[in-house]
Structure 1
Amino acid sequence: MSLQARLNAFKADFEAGKPPYNVPRPVIDIMHRATAELIASGAAQRARKAGDVAPAFSLRDPEGNIVNSTDLLKRGPLVLSFYRGVWCPYCNMELQALEAAKPEFDRYGAALVAISPQTAPNSRKSVRQNKLSFPILSDVNGQVGEAFGLRFHLPDYLVELYKQLKNDLPTFNDDPSWTLPMPARYVIGRDGVILYSEVNPDYTRRPEPEDMIAVLQQAIVKA
């Protein structure tokens, strides 16, 4: 089953209020409203895209080690995923799909990393729960997400809903701002130029990991 098919199946059960979710319809309507407004804002179109130079970053992995994008790109292309956090089931399914595709990325000498605004303990939880062999980097205060044009402020009504659902982003992220990155996937060439980008203001939509393979093949030919 493709990643998007898995996401669609989860979304159907979640929005139908099936156990164990039992989510009332007004909650779903608020989430739909927030997604529609983010799409309409055009924020995704303003994010970094293919042909742009990717912002360099230096972030810590869950063990406190510094991971530098410049160093990664010296060794090969980079597959980069921005995701919301361990609390997001759609993000966890994406991470699992990326892990399954990692052997193919390895064949082309590509590094795979994920970036989230969450704290290191939550990133360790993500790695453990999803059985990941690639690092999740902590984007403190969402600065790298901001540089890529992905960071947005949650509207007040969504903040109130998250509080009711005990989805405490300030604690998850150690950041009082109530901001998140739009989920995004990038392939960055060794010269730092973005070869592929997909930014999803609808967090239930994610590209297939296999879509990266053709881009990586082209990157090898150009290298």
Structure 2
Amino acid sequence: MGLSASPTSPTLREQFRALEDERRRTWAPDALAINIKQRETLLRAHPATFHVRPGDVLPAAVLPRTDGGAIALDDLVAAGPAVLVFFRFAGCPACNIALPYYAQTLSGALSAAGVPLIALSPQPVELLGEIVARHALPFPVVSDTALALSRALGITYTFDDASRAAAAAKGGASHQLNGTDAWELPKPTVIVLDPGRVVRFVDVSPDWMDRTDATTILNALSLRDNVRSHAA
């Protein structure tokens, strides 16, 4: 049976709206302006930005897991489709909303249908385990080492000067985010991948406060009837 979510649970959009409202109440105006400007810039630039499309074939990749071992994309899709969820890093507040949401609304239905689900971030694997433990995530979380796969798919963005300075002022470093010297992260992205590493569906979110709804992913897999999702 598919997973049934409580109809009283907040939707993904409602949770992001609450986070945005909390920031507007509590953040310093200059910090809020930096965050909003970076997201608005990415939204404006996105239509002209190359990124992976349906029908593309992903490069072969072997991705280290937070719990040891590794996952090869070829093995992931050997028996059928799989769902890949790219996220920014373990401490990202929006990611700490999105991944538990997918655990609640998506993981059970996909598991029942035999469709693997993995979450990918360029953050070094030893730091990614934090988000898995915090939410007891039921799906594997893997590291896209040095952003190799994300860059190949054209889904990364670079911090603007103000965002980079703000992160550094709080003690952040690019190596903590992605293991490289580049202040670069993936835009949140969901891919439904078919055997042969062929992309069936892709949704790239240039604004990291807007993520793919579970119902959209289930529809892409023709699994909508397998779950009563609370997402709208």
TM over 0.5: yes
Instruction: Tell me how far 1:76 sits from its aligned partner.
Output: 2.0
Q: Which residue of 1 aligns with 2:90?
A: 86
| CA offset digits 1:156-208 (Å, max 9, x no partner) | 22110111233333224322211111111111122422122111111100011
What is the letter of the counterpart of residue 73 of structure 2?
A: S
Instruction: Specify which of 8, 15, 22 is matched with residue 6 of structure 1.
Output: 15
SS at match of 2:44: helix
Q: CA RMSD in A?
A: 1.7
In 1, Cα distance between the equivalents of 2:49 and 2:144? Answer: 22
Cα pair 1:182 1:203 within 8 Å, conserved: yes
SS at match of 1:217: coil
| CA offset digits 1:39-76 (Å, max 9, x no partner) | 22237742102232233321110133121010110122
Matches within 5 A, 1:190-205: 190-205=195-210
For structure 2, the 5+ residue unaligned runs are: 1-9, 224-232
Q: Which residue of 2 aligns with 1:147?
A: 152
Which 4+ stretches in 1 moved above 4 angstroms? none
- Does 2:176 align with 1:182? no
In 2, Cα distance between the equivalents of 1:60 and 1:44? Answer: 32
Q: Which residue of 1 aligns with 2:228?
A: none
Q: Which residue of 1 aligns with 2:215?
A: 210
In 2, Cα distance between the equivalents of 1:127 and 1:157? Answer: 30
- Does 2:31 align with 1:27? yes
Cα pair 1:44 1:150 within 8 Å, conserved: no
SS at match of 2:221: helix
Cα pair 1:115 1:136 within 8 Å, conserved: yes
Count of aligned residue pairs for this structure pair: 213
Higher RCO, 1 vs 2 (CA within 8 Å, ≥6 residues apart):
2
Q: Which residue of 1 aligns with 2:122?
A: 117
Percent identity of the aligned residues?
24
